[in-house]
Structure 1
Amino acid sequence: MSRTSRTRRTSRLRRIPLRGRGPALTAGAAAALAGTALALGLTSANAARTAPAAAPQAQLQTQVRAQQAAAAAPAFRLPFPCGQTWTGNSSASSAHTGNEIDFNRGGTAEADNGDTVVAAAAGKVIRSTRHVDESGFGNHVVVQHSGGYTTWYAHLKYRSVGVGRQVAAGEKIGAVGRTTRPSNGGMSSHLHYEVRLNGGYPPVAAYFGGKRFGYPQQRLTACGGGAADPVADICGAGYAKIDEATLKKGATTYGKVYLGYKDGRNCVITVKPKGAATAMAATLQVKGAAARSDKGDFTTYAGPVTAAAPGKCVKWGGSIGPASYTSAYEHCG
């Protein structure tokens, strides 16, 4: 961008199942069952002819519960920065029950080591720890989402978030690694990813961009493979977007301001479609320190403005012409 004025490896894990049982059907769900039965033409007479007596009701219960679960599911995305392409495999490990996915993108065993892992949806971190003996998960993070869903990210090289942290979809939570129990020391780097529902185990099927993962293996591009991520392009390799704001005044949208993150450093850029030089600014302030800004007349972007903020909150923002945005102190830690 221009501006002016300047082969999967097998891993054996001992699971820690979080067992749970779904609730009994409510009156509303029972009514939904009856409605579904009518829609399918399953009257008491023809149901008896097509299946054993208990089968239609059991099948309909399963269908209704699946529909209810799907309706409550957040909009999960691939747990990697936009534009990156990864291959997920659910069958390469003998420890998998069917819906766990191991992700790699490099051509060698350790090519992915240290690559950024992001939250697949917005939520709250409810576990951030390292298991040495309890399981083979090593460094792992668990994020609680709406609808009773949790996502699990295992074998991380390091964890970027702590328990209680509210994370946005696409916010960095760690890096791809190979941490596990000592007896499994031959495992190579990959991200082990799971989606669990209502604390249950085994995991449920994973969805990305509203589409069910193509088990047992599928190659996917984060964020649908659209335009390249401007944060990585401008801030530098390894930076991932953790937040953004649209710069709009009245009915006119001028561009966006982005907050990126990499290994304890934050980066702010303000971006607009390429065109005539326009007054633009990008600003970043670490709590307790003076604000840093990049201001001028630019054709495409202002910034990058970077600062280290380990354990501290940041205020970020930008402007294009008459449109501006400034956050509160946030993204702490």
Structure 2
Amino acid sequence: MNSRTLWNDNWYFAKTELGVKWEDRQIWEAKMQPVDLPHDWLIYDTKNLYEDSIGWYRKNFAYAPDKTGNDDRVILRFEGVYMDSSIYVNGEHLGDWKYGYSTFDWDITDALHKGDNEIVLRVVFQAPNSRWYSGAGIYRNVWMIRLPKTHIPLDGIYTSSVETKNGYDLTIDTELEWGTDSGNYELEYCLRDADNSKSPIETENQELFRVKQPLTCGQNKISITIPVDNPRKWDITDPYLYDLQVCLWREQETNSRELCQQEHFRIGFRTMQFDPARGFLLNGRKVRLNGACDHHDLGALGAAFHKEAMRRK
């Protein structure tokens, strides 16, 4: 069964000058201090907000392979790191990520061993690099994601809908990555009314549909279109979302099924149109668009994401 764990605690941080390398461990390791993520090291010195420097993030953790043998891939997802980062797992350099404004993933499975493991992220900040204050460091959440051998990859599910006479046709495209086993697998799609104040797992409301799709071994993409009659439309005055659940099942020799992976999404149904005479139309009515030039930082609080500060903003 897949899992997704927030990985923001028990990190250590050190700041050094440019030019310090992984091999200079005695320099950066001696400066390590506990730190909570998300984190922006530039905001701590407001008189030098564009200081060229390197940030070192280290975390140790115990790793145990899944006892059932189904847990095969361990992935770290970094939602935002500014700017040039390199990842080391147990001293092995796995690679670099050179862009500061996108989420990225590292599959660290092959570098892990049973017991204690070490993750180090080296983050280089050099100015000038932006027209606005960018901050520096791991400024958004980090997640540890564990997937079974045969699995739906991260961001491997895409939905789209087309309005019809009776409602909408919902198309769900699903990617698959196969392990070495040759078992029989099946995808199951379920759309439910949702209590929008709760998480998808907490809701057990009326089903709009439940559809099963058998899989052929090696099939790496599945597309299915399902009619949804008269759904409650999403609108800025009524932002209603449904709960879409996608499950990957494996048939057992005992004629039972094993749930390998379960994913939840909030989705809505609406129509949009840009008309030369009337402007923007949402669900057939004119809506005036308002916007702002909004960068990712939180002003004097820095670039590290903070839910309450972003809500106030």
TM-score, normalised to structure 1's length? 0.32
Greater strand share, structure number: 2
TM-score (norm 2): 0.33
